[in-house]
Amino acid sequence: MINQEMKKAVLDNFEKVFGKNDEVKAYFAPGRVNLIGEHTDYNGGHVFPCALTIGTYGAAAKRNDRKLRFYSVNQDRLGVIESSLDDLKPSDKAGWTNYPKGVVWAFEKRGMKLESGFDMVIYGNIPNGSGLSSSASLEVLTGFILRDIFGFEVSNQDLALIGQYSENNYNGCNCGIMDQFAVAMGKEDNAIFLDTADLSFEYAPISLEGAKIVIANTNKKHKLTDSQYNARRSMCEEALAVLQRSLDIKTLGDLSIEEFEANKNLLTDPDMQRKAKHAVYENQRTIEAVKDLKAGNIEHFGELMKQSHVSLRDDYDVTGIELDTLAQEAWKIPGVIGSRMTGGGFGGCTVSIVRDEAIEEFKKTVGENYRKKIGYDATFYTVEIGGGPEVI
């Protein structure tokens, strides 16, 4: 569901900023929301994200020199940020352009060298810092543009891996594969049941008859690279190393709940034990949730969403008062099937499945109670499940 106004704006801005160019094309890559399976993607577990109809629009054209010129409609006060193919190092002054530059760098690492630079304008309608993957959307969009204008042979799944590689190694955030995979491989009206251990996946149709997905944004900014995200990941890696001394496992996702419970005392640090418990239990919840969905048992799916949030709060310790308030207020409302935090945590958004007749009440009551407790407003979006990147 392409937003024609966004498409027009990105093309108009390209002409205004870089001049008329007959070669320019417009592109789109979605944001994503994860329905269940949080902080499992770097633990070899399952995730269940879907692409959204909001995302990042881009307009781009090849140049005949080695310059890279970037312009964001969302951050127009920054003007054009210029770089070159001979200067592919991350820097503070490059700001947001470190994401597209990181993708160019990652393409070159794979032997796909650009013969010339390009001009690029972007315009996103994913709320910034919301945890709906604006960075993964921008990475996949960039990779998709490079493939299109330079003719590289690379699959959408490779675009996801390249995006993740650049975020890990160029931008310094040790994220798993989920965000980029959901963006690159999105399919309308389907979520993706992905096993992050081997990237096997299946599309699962989402049929929410009489209900919709509602995102609630805490409007508390979070920056994953500066947050506790990398610390959580290291602790899970330590827990895995300890368990591997006694068990034949490759990832925490290999453990059933029973196996974990029988061996958890090997983890003598209580905090480490809780973090590992979340990774194991959340993986099993995700597998169960997809079975529920296939069987049409949406009520139990909602119950598992709630359990997921409680585990992220009590065991993984990544929620915070803003996300907890949104989830807890949502659970009180009749017509809310399920609600939980989504994304890395420490701010960002909750995702809720809400019956159509309860949506207005949900937004009003949760919004009022959030404002009373937190002191500023949350923002609500009713979203639809969209497809992957495309030329528009």
The residues annotated with a catalytic role in the active site are 179
Query: How far is the C-alpha of 350 from the C-alpha of 355, rounded, in Å?
Result: 16
- Of 335, 329, 287, 333, the residue nearest 308 (C-alpha): 287
- Please report which helix (H) or strand (E) contains residue 292, including its range: helix 270-294
Half-sphere exposure of 278 (CA within 13 A, CB side): 27
Query: How far is the C-alpha of 328 from the C-alpha of 351, rounded, in Å?
Result: 12
Separation in Å, CA 141 to CA 98, 212, 290, 356:
14, 27, 28, 33
Report residue 181 as tokens: 């995979």
- Of 291, 202, 239, the residue nearest 43 (C-alpha): 239
**Amino acid identity for residue 302 in this structure:** G
**Amino acid identity for residue 303 in this structure:** E
Report residue 385 as tokens: 């499940």
